[in-house]
């Protein structure tokens, strides 16, 4: 049984279509990466505000905390 007339492919048109799809998705990825960077920056700022609040509540300075963190492990144990 015949399946119909075989259509001739237009390869340059297909290539252009694929390139357009790639460009569209790259633009979406760029936008999403920008959103991700903004969200990560907001999260970092929130964490820093929380850390600053904890430091103020404990009466410690940032330098005292840094010194405590940087102590050799032998001094801590």
pTM (predicted TM-score): 0.67
pLDDT number for residue 4: 73
* Host H or E run for residue 1: none
How far, in Å, CA of 47 to CA of 14, rounded?
49
The one-digit pLDDT tens for each residue of the chain (77 residues) are 567 777 888 999 999 999 999 999 999 999 999 999 999 999 999 999 999 999 999 999 999 989 988 987 666 55
pLDDT number for residue 44: 98
Q: Which residues of 49-68 are buried (b: 16+ CB within 10 A; e: fewer)?
A: eeeeeeeeeeeeeeeeeeee
Going from N- to C-terminal start, the domains of the chain cover: 12-76
pLDDT number for residue 77: 52
| Residue 69: Cβ within 10 Å count | 8
């Amino acid at each position: 049984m015949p399946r119909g007339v075989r259509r001739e492919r237009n390869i340059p048109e297909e290539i252009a279509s694929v390139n357009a799809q790639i460009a569209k998705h790259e633009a979406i990825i760029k936008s999403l990466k920008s959103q991700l960077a903004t969200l990560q920056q907001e999260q970092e700022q929130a964490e820093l505000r929380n850390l600053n609040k904890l430091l103020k509540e404990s009466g410690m300075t940032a330098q005292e905390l840094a010194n405590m963190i940087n102590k050799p492990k032998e001094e801590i144990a």
